[in-house]
Each structure stands twice: as structure tokens, then as C-alpha cells.
């Protein structure tokens, strides 16, 4: 049990996290609590805020975008697996793209934006896309 009369510094609160499982109460009505190091907890539960999947290709697109369709067709023809994220249909996808763009220091003015294993391609330039895919080992 943690003595809450102690200050956070005395409890070393910055080093530990307390996780309560609120899905099922114990017989006495309390909930199970576990203590973990903050580092272990954050490592186990963290996901990249940009949603990136290492070694993946992500096509940020919109349903009406013809160039986006062409980009997806090319990737299929080249047999490059990709994830499609519609930035108009998904607020999360739009936020993810905004985060990645800010991190890369670019300002996309439209779609498609193609994330090739962490390298953003603005628009569709077939040569540059092919070159990025080859450089990242995603295409021969």
C-alpha cells in the first residue's frame, strides 16, 4: 500500500506507476492494483504518436483523389504492401499526418502523401517513389 500522506518526491512517484484494473472488483469491493516502474510501463504501452509502423508504406489519401488512386494502383502493381488512411474520413489519420509532416518540417497542401518507412513523399512522383522504396528495401 502506498502512503499518500507522503509527498510525491518522498514516494518517488516519478519512478513508479500504479495501475488499477477497474474491469472486475474483488470480493471486498476494491480493485486490483499493480505497481510498475514508469519506464517499463511506458515502454510496454507506448505507441508512436505518428502511428508509424516501421518498414511500412502508408498512403494518406481521400476518396475523391484520382492521383491517390493512381499511387495505390502503382504500389499494387509493384507488389508493395501498404496501408491506406483516408484523411477526410478519419480525424485520427489527419492528425497522424499532421504530426508526421510537422516532424519532417513539411507542409502538405493536399493528398496523396506517401510515408515510405518514415520518409514522406508529397504528391506522386513515380521515380522518387520507386527510388525511396528501393532505398528502404521495400522494393527491388
Are residue 36 and residue 83 in the same domain, yes or no? Answer: no
**Would you say residue 3 lies in a domain?**
no
The pTM for the full model equals 0.64
Residues 65 and 12 reside in one and the same domain: no
d(CA 72, CA 135): 19
The answer to the question of residue 50 being in a domain is: no
* Residue 114 lies inside a defined structural domain of this protein: yes
- What is the tens place of the pLDDT at every residue in 82-114? 999 999 999 999 999 999 999 999 999 999 999
The total number of structural domains in the chain stands at 2
Q: Are 123 and 67 in contact (CB under 8 A)?
A: yes
Q: Average pLDDT of each block of 10 consecutive residues along the chain (140 residues)?
A: 77 80 87 82 58 76 98 96 95 94 94 96 98 93
Any domain includes 25: yes
Range of the domain at 12: 8-45
CA distances in angstroms from 44 to 12, 36, 40, 41, 48, listed in the order given = 20, 11, 6, 5, 12
Amino acid at each position: 500500500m502506498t502512503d499518500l500522506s507522503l509527498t510525491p518526491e518522498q514516494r518517488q512517484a516519478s519512478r513508479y506507476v500504479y495501475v488499477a484494473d477497474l474491469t472486475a472488483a474483488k470480493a471486498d469491493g476494491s480493485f486490483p492494483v499493480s505497481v510498475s516502474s514508469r519506464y517499463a510501463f511506458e515502454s510496454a504501452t507506448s505507441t508512436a504518436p505518428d502511428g508509424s509502423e516501421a518498414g511500412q508504406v502508408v498512403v494518406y489519401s481521400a476518396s475523391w483523389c484520382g492521383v491517390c488512386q493512381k499511387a495505390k494502383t502503382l504500389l499494387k502493381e509493384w507488389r508493395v504492401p501498404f496501408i491506406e488512411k483516408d484523411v477526410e474520413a478519419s480525424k485520427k489519420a489527419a492528425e497522424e499526418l499532421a504530426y508526421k509532416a510537422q516532424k519532417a518540417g513539411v507542409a502538405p497542401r493536399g493528398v496523396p502523401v506517401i510515408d515510405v518507412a518514415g520518409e514522406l513523399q508529397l504528391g506522386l512522383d513515380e521515380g522518387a517513389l520507386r527510388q525511396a522504396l528501393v532505398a528502404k528495401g521495400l522494393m527491388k
